[in-house]
Each structure stands twice: as C-alpha cells, then as structure tokens.
C-alpha cells in the first residue's frame, strides 16, 4: 500500500450470548489485502469502558476507560482473525437478544479500527 489506510471494525460484531457465560463481543475479519513487507497494521481501540482485548485467543491488553490503545499486529495476523473485546463489569448490558446476528459495537465500548501504515521507502545508496 502506498499511503495510510483505515479499516473500520466498529460494525458487524457478534454480541455475547446470554446463558453461555461469555461476555465477549466478537469481530471476525480477514487480513487486509495489498500488504507489503514491512507494512505496519495497527489495531486501534478507543473505549469508554475498561475492557480486555484478545486476538485469535491471545490476550493483547487491558484497555482503560477513556483511553486510546494501539498496537502493531501485522506479525500476528492470519488469513482469518477473531478479535474479542471483553468489557469489565456491567458494560455488556444493553446487548441485543440472542439470534439478532451481527450488530454495531455498543457506543460504551467505543470504536475499533485497523490503521495500515506503509513501510518507509528504502534509502538509495
């Protein structure tokens, strides 16, 4: 990719399923196309609630309420990925009833996106 590119991940989330003991909001996505060697892929989360972030089952961070968290995940991405946000406390409240399919991430959990930063051009000798 030749310039910075953003991919919004704030829609198409699977809400927690009542009765299954899961509090996780789940978003599945594929690896962005057109990545070149050395490109960085930042996972960015702005959340109004404390939450834990997992990518493909691996805990990445605990995001503090009111903060912006960002981590380069380029080396972790697979052809298909599963991002989970596990809100602390009662912030899973207000979720839709089971069976409603994919929904936008609740506002209290904030915004989520991928920020693709192209590799710096190599200096000529």
CATH of the domain at 75: 2.60.120.260
> What are the tokens at 7?
């991919």
Q: Is 16 contained in some domain?
A: yes
Q: Is 124 contained in some domain?
A: no
Q: Is 34 contained in some domain?
A: yes
CA–CA separation, 116 and 39 (whole Å): 7
Each residue of 81-125: pLDDT tens digit? 999 999 987 555 444 545 568 999 998 889 999 999 999 876 655
Q: Where does residue 75 fall: left (phi above 0), alpha (psi -120 to 50 degrees), or beta otherwise? A: alpha
Q: Whole-model pTM above 0.75?
A: yes
| Domain tally, the chain | 1
What is the separation, in whole angstroms, between the first and last Cα of the chain? 23
Q: Domain span at residue 64?
A: 5-91+100-117
CA–CA separation, 105 and 95 (whole Å): 9
Q: Is 122 contained in some domain?
A: no
pLDDT higher for 23 or 41? 41
């Amino acid at each position: 990719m030749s310039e910075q590119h953003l991919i919004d991940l704030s829609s198409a989330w699977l809400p927690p399923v009542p009765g299954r003991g899961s509090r996780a909001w789940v978003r599945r996505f594929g690896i962005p196309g057109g990545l070149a060697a050395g490109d960085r892929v930042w996972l960015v989360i702005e959340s109004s609630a404390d939450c834990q972030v997992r990518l493909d089952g691996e805990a990445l961070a605990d995001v503090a309420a009111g903060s912006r968290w960002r981590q380069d995940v380029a080396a972790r991405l697979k052809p298909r990925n599963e991002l989970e946000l596990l809100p602390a406390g009662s912030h899973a409240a207000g979720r839709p009833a089971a069976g409603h399919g994919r929904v936008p991430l609740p506002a209290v959990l904030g915004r989520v996106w991928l920020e693709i930063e192209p590799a710096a051009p190599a200096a000529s000798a």
